[in-house]
Amino acid sequence: MNDWPQGWSDDNRGTRYGRGSSGAQPESARVMRQVRRGPSAPPGGPPGGVPQQPSYVDGGQGDAGYGGHGGYDGYDSGYNTGQVYGTPGGRGPGDGGGGAMGEPRPAPNWRRRIKITAITVVTVLLATTIGTYFWADSKLNREVDLSKVIDRPEAGEGTNYLIVGSDSREGMSAEDKKELHTGSAEGKRTDSMMILHTGDNGSTLISLPRDSDVEIPTFKGSESGKTYQGTGRHTKLNAAYAEDGPELLVRTVEFNTGLRIDHYVEIGFAGFANIVDAVGGVEIDIPQDIKDTKSGADLKKGKQTLNGEEALAFVRTRYALAGSDLDRTKNQQKFLSALANQVATPGTVLNPFKLYPTMGAGLDSLIVDKDMGLFDLASMFWAMKGVSGGDGTSMNMPISGSTGGNLVWDKAKVKTLVEQLKNDEKVTVSSD
């Protein structure tokens, strides 16, 4: 049976591989290089067998049309070995192999990548920290020169801060004054004064009532430089601030206590309210209902979060309290400790959208002494946080009575208290 197409005969098959060709070799232009799938039929095999294909490996029999002596002079197409495009194992250029010369791609150097990433992160954090430090340091208002204070007591152990809340209305608009119920009095006075002692035995926060009876000593004028001799004159403590500012206040506190003040920190009405608002309000437990038309306070008893306006009213209130100024100082201590605790929380420190506004509001409104640094300020806040957390003591200056409307300090208790602070000992004196 003839298996070839119609018109073809076995005689026509012969050794022909293309039209018009009578040679034994295939036409060079029609050769299809192929990979042998199995052994070729031996020469002279049964009819219909596949003729043995020419080899292109290692310079074997080539195409007569390419010179008749090996064709490509040893060129290996790669088809006989399953190797394509010169890549090992028959992989193509898109099969994950190496480069054009068939070299494998090197494995990623993860150790080097991790090292570079770590260096980059540390560099960014370091640059941000340094930039933040210099930005914050430049915002401190170092206006108080403690070198003008004369006849100072010897320094003791630990650090003593004099923290002052003034009724300064500087920078406030008429609308701000109305909203915060501050009035429009010119100049500035001090509504609150506290000594914060920090040391190895915890922190102690002592309120100095504004109506404390004190003697104004000999002092040097902060502006004139003129020396004013003391006459034994007694007045309220806040009058010293009103008379010649922070330098005379420090001089008066040191003279009447014998305790050296290392740093001075002051904040005004607007600054206080802005800090509270910047941290998103401060949570505090109010012991009683408070309604005071002079401070603007209208607060209910219980735990609640106060905004800046409400907080300022709370710390200024005294007429609605049974103990007047003594009860007010207790509220001031309580609130300032809660504020310090709020500022030092991770939610504020680790959140740049809250940290920077808080720092900006606080630093812009603070007045400090010329030697105050950011680390001193941070130490003060951490100490106040410790007081609110139970790691310290808060108290009023011990009072023994009053004279002419002024509160008289208990001299024996004050002497013991000051000695304990100077020696950085645990405070055992109470204000009761």
Residue 111 neighbours by CB distance under 10 Å: 8
Residue 249, pLDDT score = 96
Instruction: Give which of 154, 165, 362, 366 is closest to 262, Cα–Cα.
Output: 154
Residue 353, pLDDT score = 74
Which pairs from 301-309 meet CB under 8 Å and 24+ separation? 305/281, 306/276, 306/281, 306/282, 306/335, 307/276, 307/277, 307/281, 308/272, 308/273, 308/274, 308/275, 308/276, 308/277, 309/179, 309/180, 309/273
Residue 28, pLDDT score = 46
Instruction: Give which of 129, 130, 123, 198 is closest to 160, Cα–Cα.
Output: 198
Tens-of-pLDDT digits for all 432 residues of the chain? 445 445 444 444 444 444 444 444 544 444 445 545 545 445 555 555 455 555 544 444 444 444 444 444 444 554 455 454 444 444 545 444 444 556 778 888 888 889 899 999 888 888 888 887 777 777 888 999 999 999 999 999 999 999 998 866 555 555 654 555 454 455 566 878 999 999 988 899 999 998 999 999 999 998 889 999 999 999 999 999 989 999 999 999 999 999 999 999 998 877 788 888 888 899 999 988 899 888 888 899 999 999 988 998 898 888 888 778 788 888 888 888 888 888 777 777 777 777 777 777 777 778 999 999 888 988 888 888 888 666 788 899 999 998 888 999 999 999 999 999 999 998 999 887
Q: How many Å apart are CA 412 and CA 393, to the nearest integer?
A: 19
Contact 183, 306 (CB under 8 A): no
Structure-token match 């009578």, residue found: 22
Cross-strand partners of 264: 162
